[in-house]
Structure formats: structure tokens, C-alpha cells
Amino acid sequence: MKKKVLSMVLATSMVAAALVGCGGGASETAAPAADTSAAAEEAPAAEEAPAADAAEAEAPAATASGNKVGVAMPTKDLQRWNQDGSNMQAELEAAGYEVDLQYASNDVATQVSQIENMINGGCSALVIASIDGESLTTVLESAKSAGIPVIAYDRLIMNTDAVSYYATFDNYMVGTKQGQYIVDTLDLDNADGPFNMEITGGSPDDNNAKFFYQGAIDVLQPYMDAGKIVVPSGQIEFATVGTPGWATETAQSRMENILSSNYADGTNLDIALCSNDSTALGVENALAANYTGEYPVVTGQDCDIANVKNMIDGKQSMSIFKDTRTLASQVVKMVGQIMSGETVDVNDTETYDNGTGVIPSYLCEPVFADINNYKELLIDSGYYTEADLQ
């Protein structure tokens, strides 16, 4: 894969605090790799990521003057983006930055306008969680022309060389952990099967969704090939199972149709592979209304409060926990390094090609929460309180 070195050098530099990055707390682990629309072949296992020292040596340096950071988040409608935004703002302000935090109500035109205002409003760096990774090319040309470095946050921004860095969790690993949880829970290596599975993927316009899907499928495919896992609906390919906008209602409606067509006769659904918690919630709503068989293993991601409550109630098996405090700390560290002209801390310089070249990336490692460890991960770490989950 071609590597593209991105350097952004401006006239004035200022020193900023370099805060702790990923891999520190009780709910955090190391930091390997994964994310591009090229799915399986370009989504390596975590251990294949380059060593951090080597990656740092190849990472471009970028400098910016000023003290204002623009943070563009997709929406307040999903709990996780509220947490990402507030964590980011708190970390940046604690490091001495002025922060322009904006939410775009999942409207691309609104996000474009907000980013334009950040550029014109004197921001010296931009952190952007895109709604549609394909739709920011033009506005980011303005950022590039103004010498403003851009960190793509959680979702890779595609087809623009204005992106300086990418910070996210290892998205391919999210899928592999979901798949492995299914393998372990159902003891697929020893059980006879067959087990019936239905797949609910993420939003097709979110580059991460393809990685979540492919990571899980890569783990489960051998069992599908052996006939231990079957998909009665026949809906397997990402183009078929994707959920536009990650919408709970869309996931629910689709699952209701699948259940009525394939499981109304009492056939058991054994596995509901769901890429995240909003889609899992839709599937769980459909199961509550239209399913009478034995309850399936249900996967998820983000540990949203409603889903953790369902986990406690036995309606969801697991959810991938991506501690947004961890990612926020790493991004603040990267912003400080950019502002002061230091080498920016990355640990992957091979995986994430956005169509114009490989974007130097920092990848945090996700973990999973289930009924056995959610208290340790979510409550003992201070992410939630006991009252939040009542």
C-alpha cells in the first residue's frame, strides 16, 4: 500500500500539554490496528500493526498557531457522541485550549457549514467525526489552504488529502471480538449445530461499519462454511444487512420482517450479530414483539445505557466498550503535539488509506462488557454510576 507523507508547517508554534493517551485505565488496553472500505484484506489483526516507535518515525509533523480547536460531532441523538463531545471539550479546555464544539443533527450540510465557520472563526486545528466520510472534500480544501491540520475522529474522512491524522479504536478488532464472543459463548468448536444467525450491520456511509462487519465475518466464516452457522434469511452481504444512519427503527423494522418470514413457525434464532447498540436495540425491540423461541446471543457496541440495562435484564449478551475518555485523551495529546511541532504519536501507518494515501493513525484497543464484567468496566471505572443503570 502506498504511504503518503502529510506535512503541515505554519509560521508560529506554541507549546501545549501532552496528555496521557490510550491504554491507561482499568477499562483500557493496548493499541493495535484497523479501518478502510477495503474490508477483509486491508484489515489486519492487531498484532500486525507497526511498532509505535517505527510509526512515530514515519509520522508527519504539523504545526499550527493559535489556541482555538474546532470539534465537529455528528449528532446528539446517540449517547456516545454526547460523551465523545463533552469528554473532548473537557480535556482540551483542561489543556488550555479554547474549544468550538458543534453537533450537526446528522445533517451533512449542517456539518459542512459548522466546519466552514470553524475555519473562518480562527480555529488552529480541527477534530472531525464525520457524518458522511465522503462529503467533506470541498470544505476541507479550505482548511488545507488555511494551513489548518485536521484529525479525523473515530470515522475516517475519505478522498481528501487535507486529513493529517486519524484517531479511533481498532474497528476491525471490534468485529473480531464480537465474532469470538459468539464462538466462545456457543462453544462452536465443539457444538454440533447448526445455529441460526441473522446479521444487522452498520450504516453504509460510515467507513467503520465495513470493518465491524468484516471483523466478525472473518471469525465466523469458517463455521458458516462448515454448516455450523446458517443464515435462514439468506441476508449475509454487507450491502444487504447494512442499517442506514445506524437507525434503531430501521433495524427493528428489518428484523421484524426477518422474524415473520423465517421464524414465525417457532424456529429458534440463536445469534443476532449486531454491529452496535442502536441497531441491537432495534433487534431487541423486534424480538420482544415478534419472537417466541429461545433468546439468542445478541452482540452490540458502545455500552449505551439502554443496552447495558438490557444486558442486566438478559436481553443483550455483550457490548463492545470503547472508553471515549481514552480516545479523547489521545486526541488532546495529538493536538498538543501538532501545535508545538512535535512528532505526532501514531501506531499505524499502513492500514487506513482514505483514497488519497495512507493516513497516519492512532488506534486504541476495545474490550467487551457482559454480565460478568460490566460493573468493573463501567461502574468501578467511573464511566457510569449504579444509579445510571437502574
Q: What are the pLDDT digits (tens) for 240-298?
A: 999 999 999 999 999 999 999 999 999 999 999 999 999 999 999 999 998 999 999 99
195-200 and 150-153 beta bridge pairing:
unpaired
Distances (CA, A) of 241 to 83, 253, 255, 269, 301: 28, 12, 10, 16, 17
Distance CA 130, CA 157 (A): 7
Name which of 12-21, 158-167, 203-212 the model is least confident about: 12-21
Cα 31 vs. chain centroid, distance in angstroms? Answer: 14
**Neighbour-count burial of 117, counting CB atoms closer than 10 A to its CB (0-12 exposed, 13-18 middle, 19+ buried):** middle
Statement: residue 41 has pLDDT above 70: no
To the nearest 10°, report the CA torsion of 104, 109, 115, 118.
Answer: -80
Instruction: Return left, alpha or beta for 159; rule: phi > 0 is left, psi -120 to 50 is alpha, else beta.
Output: left
Longest dimension (CA), the chain: 70
Give the other-Cβ count within 10 Å of 244's Cβ.
Answer: 12
* Residue 179: predicted pLDDT: 98
Distances (CA, A) of 92 to 16, 70, 75, 211, 361: 10, 10, 20, 29, 20
* Residue 339: predicted pLDDT: 92
Mean pLDDT of the chain: 86
The hierarchical CATH code for the domain 172-321 is: 3.40.50.2300
Q: What is the domain partition of the chain in residue ranges?
A: 39-169+323-363, 172-321
To the nearest 10°, report the CA torsion of 241, 167, 304, 234.
Answer: 10
Mean pLDDT (whole number) for 98-111: 96
**Residue 305 carries which side chain, given as an amino acid letter?**
I
What are the backbone dihedrals phi and psi of residue 158, each rounded to the nearest 5 degrees, phi first?
-95, 155
Statement: residue 27 has pLDDT above 70: no
Name which of 27-36, 203-212, 302-311, 324-333 the model is least confident about: 27-36
Which stretches of the chain are assigned E, i.e. beta strand?
A: 68-73, 98-103, 125-128, 150-153, 165-169, 195-200, 229-230, 271-274, 297-298, 318-321, 361-364, 367-370
Asked if 162 and 130 count as a contact pair (C-beta separation under 8 A), the reply is no
The answer to whether the 39-169+323-363 and 172-321 domains have the same CATH topology is yes
User: pLDDT band at residue 348, thresholds of 50, 70 and 90?
Assistant: very high
* Residue 51: predicted pLDDT: 39
The hierarchical CATH code for the domain 39-169+323-363 is: 3.40.50.2300
* Residue 46: predicted pLDDT: 36
Distance CA 338, CA 15 (A): 9
* Residue 65: predicted pLDDT: 55
pTM of the full structure:
0.74
54 vs 350, more confident: 350
